[in-house]
Amino acid sequence: MATTLNVLVIEDSEEDTLLMVRELTKAGYSVKFEQAHSAATLAAALAKGGWDIIFGDFTLPGFSGTAALAQVRKYDSEVPFIFTSGTIGEDTAVAAMRTGADDYVMKNNLKRLVPAVERALREVSGRRARRRAEERVIYLAYHDAVTDLPNRYLLQDRLKQAIFSARRAREPVALLVMDLNGFKAINDSLGHHAGDCVLQRVAARLSGVIREADTLARLGGDEFAFILPRTDGEGGMVAARKFLHSLKEPILFEESSLMVTGSIGIAWFPEHGATGEALLQKADIAMYAAKARKLDCAIYTADRDQQAHRRLNIMTELREGIEREEFFYEYQPVVDLKTGRVICLEALARWRHPRQGLLLPEMFIGVAEQTGLIEPLTARLLEKALDDWKRWYSRLRIPVFVNLSPRNLQDPEFPDRTKDLLKSREIPSSMLGFEITENFVMSDPLRVANYLARLHDMGTPLAIDDFGTGYSSLSYLRQLPVDILKIDRSFVMDLADGDDAIVKCAVDLGHNLGLSVVAEGVESARVQDRLRRLGCDLAQGFFLARPSAAPETLCWLEQRREKAPTGTRWEL
């Protein structure tokens, strides 16, 4: 079937117009065209829109080609524009292209017309695809990938604006923070897919009951927040009960009927603070007070301020946990998508809490950073990773990658201590890698690059983790001494819905920089196959292997080797 091409021809000669249309028709296009010959007829044609390409004669009676081009660009900055002329010289043509034309074709050489058209269409298609990908990256930087709600960064910006407007109007603005009850049990028993489904359903229900002027955001994990303009504590309580009522009906997931409730904390301007940070802090304290007292919702009051006590308790438990060696690593394999070979293992920190059971990093890393315990915690975990490698993985020679906190990268002695740990255990530096988040890299690129160079000079491989969640500059990425780019799972999840633009851009970017590219969060064969077709090198995720303790991971690796087809060379 012929490709339809909508062509606008700025030309005073109908014969020349038909000659150009004939060239395109001979090439297999179904051409729909309109001819304009003055500024007025051009304006009318542009107002209709929908043009795939525009041809413009360089010289028209009373209307120049450059004037026509300027008029076109006011309407559409991207539509391909090709000058066609029988009199234009080479120098004049080049000068005209600098003003925004895509190409020029001499009327006595129309055999160049079709190649010029096809090249211009390819280029504009590429520009539009890149722009859409860039817009998507910016959008995802301020929106939650699971629920599509505003994330913490966008919430903070909107809260700042809401307080500014409320101050000028002398009106209150309420902030509500909601934590889901029972979500962790759903995640642990049914998996992340079920957890994501619950978050999406909760977000949809809450979105259906907020006012048009309100903001609903996901703070992270199972926490949501609401900005309610012109609302004080009493109004906040009414709204909170409405939000909680929307969660009364069970959420259906596959064959399960899941009950989810929430606890809401309320604070408002100006009663509880004059900044967004203050309101977030107070609403968070009120939310924990509601949970502790098994209330649906609670308004912040000074006597409910348990934050200092809670932080002290967690800090004490963290310190005791480090001393009692309650922290350990689970390991998740990273697999070559072409060969099936296990390239390395990512070490994922866990806390075997004496009362709360197994805790994931998001439950304790933030507190460890805030209280200064991240250094002793990292030191103990790093020793644990090296001991695990020596005991379980040394025979297989598989590198282990450990996540570094921003606080670790502010410690000037960390590289030397790491070198000493490797030397004392006689472990090659190439067997220990480090992962650093993209957001931290971009916080101070020059200083981080210099610090990473010290680690890399030891022979330690380095990876940028959560790529895509920040907004990296290509020039900065080129300066970083890293080996691996890890695409954040939020982008990989989009592949299940057929959206591959960002992943493709990330893969191409990584390869152009000479880096291996890892896709995180691979949870289906469909996504794995799509990543292969996109040229992604490596992958990790629940579909390939779940994180497990060192002995179980070794058992998985051995079983994987034993299942290799007879006569094949299976590598780990």
What is the rounded distance in angstroms from the CA atom of residue 205 to the CA atom of residue 246?
6
Which pLDDT score is estimated for 311? 60
- Whole-number Å distance between alpha carbons of 337 and 538: 5
User: Cβ atoms within 10 A of the Cβ of 234, count?
Assistant: 13
pLDDT tops 50 at residue 456:
yes
pLDDT at 188: 65
Res 562: pLDDT: 55
Q: How far is CA 192 from CA 25, 185, 390, 493, 546, in A?
A: 54, 11, 32, 12, 11
566 falls in which pLDDT band (50, 70, 90)?
very low
Q: Mean pLDDT over residues 179-195, rounded?
A: 80
Average the pLDDT over 231-246 and give the result. 95
| 129 HSE (CA, 13 A, CB side) | 13
pLDDT top residue among 149 and 76? 149
Quote the tokens at residue 537: 């090198």
The residue among 192, 253, 263, 273 whose CA lies nearest residue 223 is 263
**pLDDT by residue (tens digit) across 110-147?**
999 999 999 999 999 988 888 888 888 888 889 998 99
| Side chain identity at residue 433, one-letter code | G
Identify the helix (H) or strand (E) that includes residue 453. helix 445-457
At residue 546 the predicted structure's pLDDT band, cuts being 50, 70 and 90, is very high
Confidence of residue 355 (pLDDT cuts 50, 70, 90): confident
Q: Tokens 């076109």 identify what position?
A: 72
User: Is the model's pLDDT at 159 over the cut of 70?
Assistant: yes
Q: What is the pLDDT of residue 470?
A: 52
Own/partner contacts of 124-132, CB < 8 Å, gap of 24 or more, are 124/78, 124/79, 124/80, 127/78, 128/78, 129/501, 130/505, 132/501
- Choose the weakest-confidence range: 177-186, 434-443, 477-486: 434-443
Q: Identify which has the larger pLDDT, 92 or 209.
A: 209
| pLDDT-based confidence at residue 494 (cuts at 50, 70, 90) | confident
Pick the closest to residue 10 from 38, 43, 47 (CA basis).
38
Does 571 have pLDDT greater than 50? Answer: no
pLDDT at residue 310, rounded to an integer:
62
CA distance 274 to 185: 37
d(CA 371, CA 315): 7
Of the segments 139-153, 249-263, 288-302, 368-382, which one has the largest average pLDDT value?
A: 139-153
pLDDT value at residue 567? 36
Angle between helices 307-323 and 276-292 (to 10 degrees): 70
Average pLDDT over the chain, rounded to an integer:
88
Question: Could you identify the residue written with the tokens 């009106």?
Answer: 171
Query: For the chain, which domains are there?
Result: 3-141 (3.40.50.2300), 152-305 (3.30.70.270), 326-562 (3.20.20.450)
- Read out DSSP for 48-110? H---SEEEEESEETTEEHHHHHHHHHHH-SSS-EEEEESS--HHHHHHHHHTT--EEEEGGGG
DSSP 392: I
Mean pLDDT, residues 519-542 taken together: 94
Q: What is the DSSP string of 188-223?
A: HHH-HHHHHHHHHHHHHHHHTTS-TT-EEEEEETTE
Beta-strand relationship, 59-60 and 63-64: antiparallel
Query: Model confidence at 306, in pLDDT bands (50, 70, 90)?
Result: low
Tens digit of each residue's pLDDT (9 = 90 or more) over 380-429: 999 999 999 999 988 889 999 999 987 788 788 899 999 999 999 999 99
**pLDDT value at position 224?**
98
Alpha-carbon gap, residue 224 to 244, rounded angstroms: 12
Confidence of residue 368 (pLDDT cuts 50, 70, 90): confident
In this predicted structure, the answer to whether residue 107 has a pLDDT above a threshold of 90 is no
